[in-house]
Structure 1
Amino acid sequence: MSELPQEDPQQRWKPAWAASEARIRENAGHTAVRTAVPRNSRVSKLDADLLDDELTDMLREPVSKAMSLLRPQLVDKHRLEIDTAIKAVLFWLSAGSASRRATYGQSLQNLTYETTGHRDVLRRLRMFGALSIGGAYGWSKLTSYMAANGWADAPQNSIRRKIWRVLDRLERVTRVATLVNFLAFVATGQYKTLIERVLGLRLVFARPQVAHSVSFEFLNRQLVWHAFTEFVMFALPLVNPARARRWAVRNARAVLGLPAVTIDPVVAALPEHICAICHSVEAASTSVSPDSAAGMFADPSESCAAVNPYVAKCGHRYCYVCIKTRMIAEADECTCLRCGQHVDRIWQQI
């Protein structure tokens, strides 16, 4: 019997392994490209700045009130210094301390600073605070000083005019660079300011294992309340409170089987030349006891006599201004105070 050729067992799996290894390396390359972009949330970084600004605004009011007690004009004169001092203190107590590497707003968003290829995070953070807060203050004071002293209107060959042109171009270049950096931040999510990019400071999640979830419950409540207040502010001027009250009273009395209008017998018994509206207004505006009020109704003052009298269709007489104002205010709900009939037209008494 002839011997069968002996085949090396390892030769059987080597081609399959070579093909699998190529696919694994290709997939690993694609995975590395996908994970090159950091997973930090851009919205969280921007929200952290908003939270820091809100904290500064909250502290500005009590500090301004305390300083106004010493000298009222001191607050308006040194508002920039007050804001700069508040920001510096907050930054020193938060990101500038050795135990923290993030501002209060960034801590609420589960963010912290780290450096790219460096370990001196604290020193770079303090440099960041000095440049962002102190640099902004110095630039504002410098531009204000040059504008107040007319450096822009100085002669063309003067040193002040040259310095003004250089700083103006520098400001334009800085604005363009800030815009480009922000677009890069939107694309990559790494450095949201130029100073952070220069210093190599990146915001990362302080606790990556903690899921970052955003609750929209407060936002929903604010939107609903805002929409409700806008509707109330729009509808309130359209509602006549006196007319609405009379409409409710009339319908309530109709449901209870009562007359549509309650007639005061004292008002109904007034002389014909007395305007019941004038008399009611005078009685309501006069603070008297019940006994004296009864006497006043029994003997109405001649000052309540109808001026330029107009007669309703029920025959009762009123001042033209009184009855016309009441008809405009109450519209379809206007009734006669003496008999309770509906008043929709009036005629001048001849």
Structure 2
Amino acid sequence: MSADEVVIGIISAPGAATELSSVLADDLHAELSFHVPTVRWREAIVVDALVHPPSDDAALVDAARDRLLKEGWDLVVCVTDLPLQAHRRPVVAHASPLHGVALVCLPALGAVGLRRRTRDTVVGLVRTLLGDTADGDISGRVAGLGRRASQLGRNQQPGEDGGVMFTARVLSGNLRLLTGMIRANQPWRLAIGLSRALTAALATAVLALVTPDIWQLSAALGWIRLSAIGLGSLAGITIALIAGAGLWERTSHPAGRKQVTLFNLATTATVVLGVLFLYVALLLLALATSPILVPAQLLEEGIGHAVRAGDYVKLAWLTSSLATLGGALGAGLESDDVVRAAAYTYRQESPQSRPQE
């Protein structure tokens, strides 16, 4: 390792990790330059999934090490969105000074304050890598970064490669891991991308609003039945999307079953949230337009009693539920790429090794 310049390769998985990589490089450079100003730090950013899921940290370390040797870097930090676990505990980070490789499991850091947590974790990992090298001069210069290592987590376990693995608690850590995976899937983008489903849903909503039979049905139904219809419509379009695009993951390898289970949970939650965004948008639209399309006098004649605010809410609710079911038909027309974006492993199939400036 050169004492004049230290090159740190940052390999980010396609998706949410890539969006953080350029910001992370700037933050990492500033932090290291502040604590060790006598060393010239340089960061090289590469987008590469490295492995195809399901996979474990050992495979990631090996792949990152190969990339380090190929590029001629001094150290490499791999920011992955794969859920890594050790003894049922989520792996937050893994530092292997022997290989010069550090791993950061982005979902294990949660969904809030992700930039700060990622920066602090990476700085602590780089400190661990440098502090365990044979170069005493470099090791002494990074002594001020020691406090960063404590921010990675209280649970530390020795890695198989002689490194250090930082894990989270079983219950809270797995919950944070799952929320981080859902955030990485960005469910709001799914809702925006369902253009054909939205078109079918809007057409169904307009037709339902101007149908007198729907007025009478909404007035006759109670809130429990309306809720059941709403949940049924959400389940219908969710199943249509997951089954139609083949989002459900399977594996024949026993070692990868836990990881695949997390993939399926994150994918299902992503689709549910995306559909829920669509449902709420339809509900708000129906609430805003129903008094215009269905005047109170006309609605009163249809339902046989004086119109109250609750009658419009019921009408909007039933209309939104029927429109969501209509959206399920449109969901079958969506391109696979749009829907597959909700699958957690889809990003791993993106073109790899795309350098960024």
> What is the TM-score of this pair, normalised by structure 1?
0.21
Say which structure, 1 or 2, has more relative contact order (CA 8 Å, 6+ apart): 2
Structure number with higher strand proportion: 2
Higher gyration radius (CA):
1
